[in-house]
Amino acid sequence: MRALIVEDEPAIAEDVARALEDAGFAATLARDGETAWFLGDTEDFAVIVLDLGLPKLDGLSVLKRWRAAGRDMPVLILSARGAWTEKVDGIEAGADDYLAKPFEIGELVARVRALTRRAAGHAHAVLEIGRLTLDTRRMSVAIDGTPQKLSPLEYRLIDILAHQNGRAVSAGELADHLHGADDAVDANAIEALVARLRRKIGPGVIETRRGFGYLLSGA
């Protein structure tokens, strides 16, 4: 799943990006408000981490513009500790969660995961979809209760499919989610990845809907 991190302090931005990559997200960085607004307006992200104090355009204005344009991805706001008016303004502007700086990176990851789960209609960290069990905290997958040994890329593919509310995802969209829009990955590579995964976990877990893409059986 793609995550946009909007933060002008390089050390924080890189810490957050690394932690989210470790948690299975493909992270894209934006260092000013205008770039952030454009990316959030034109590309699809599963979640956005948004600092408020930004060059060119402040985070609150960015958020208001996205919401006014009907962009409804989950947004977690980062702000200075104790600035409770910022928190209220942020939530009124359409933020889904809020974290004060300095924060524990583990808490940020947990909150980001919870936001993406809720956006996909799941209230718990463990998702049961058909024969598949996905534990988003342990980053593990079981089929009919049997744990599966998956590569990080294979896990991320299943994680993406599990967060779609039963919508089929095209190979091109999966490539974007897995690698970010910067790297060109062709659809053939995704088809090869799905084929390898099907051999590993057995048929009947990942379905192909012709003309639309992939989805999990029972989703």
**Which residues here bind Ca ion, judged by CB under 5 A?**
8, 51, 53
Residue least distant from Ca ion (Cβ)? 53
**H or E element in which residue 153 lies:** helix 152-162
Q: At closest approach, how far in Å is the CB of 108 from Ca ion? A: 15
Residues in Cβ contact with 84 at an 8 Å cutoff, skipping those fewer than 6 apart: none
Q: At closest approach, how far in Å is the CB of 94 from Ca ion? A: 19
- Length of the chain (residues): 219
- Which one, 53 or 94, has the nearer CB to Ca ion? 53
Q: At closest approach, how far in Å is the CB of 59 from Ca ion? A: 8
Q: At closest approach, how far in Å is the CB of 3 from Ca ion? A: 18
Q: At closest approach, how far in Å is the CB of 31 from Ca ion? A: 9
User: Please, are residues 4 and 51 in contact by the beta-carbon 8 Å criterion?
Assistant: no
- Which one, 9 or 44, has the nearer CB to Ca ion? 9
For residue 28, which phi and psi values (nearest 5 degrees)?
A: -120, 135
Residues in Cβ contact with 94 at an 8 Å cutoff, skipping those fewer than 6 apart: 63, 64, 66, 67, 75
DSSP-assigned letters across all residues of 51-72 = ESS-SSS-HHHHHHHHHHTT--
Strand 47-51 and strand 126-129: the pairing is unpaired
Cis peptide bond upstream of 102, omega within 30? yes
- Which one, 55 or 147, has the nearer CB to Ca ion? 55
- Which one, 27 or 141, has the nearer CB to Ca ion? 27
Q: At closest approach, how far in Å is the CB of 10 from Ca ion? A: 11
- Which one, 103 or 219, has the nearer CB to Ca ion? 103
- Which one, 53 or 130, has the nearer CB to Ca ion? 53
